[in-house]
Amino acid sequence: VLTQSPGTLSLSPGERASLSCRASQSVRTDYLAWYQQKPGQAPRLVIYGTSNRATGIPDRFSGSGSGTDFTLTISRLEPEDFAVYYCQQYGDTRVTFGQGTRLEIK
């Protein structure tokens, strides 16, 4: 089980965002990803392998963590960053998603 916190994060453009994802069992760092989803759109891969940015993702996005605790950080929020973010663990046998963190404009 992946538990994301907070459920909703209210921040202003230019601020720093830290989103947490906690796993009930240890996750290999190779197997942790983050996705961004905007209303009416499919999810978009942001981070894979805990800390690798996907193609086209700006460097204000970064991922970190190990074991059971992982973090997605957005260094300076841009208006287009406000969305729902999901963490995901993926292995050879099964996949699970967290329940999501809604990042909203304050």
Complex with another protein: residue 31 or 73, whichever CB lies closer: 31
Site string for another protein, 16-55 (x = CB under 8 A): --------------xx-x-x-x----xxxx--xx----xx
Q: Tokens in use for 6?
A: 């907070």
User: Minimum distance between the CB of residue 90 and another protein, rounded to whole angstroms?
Assistant: 4
* Interacting residues toward another protein by CB under 8 A: 30-31, 33, 35, 37, 42-45, 48-49, 54-55, 86, 88, 90-100
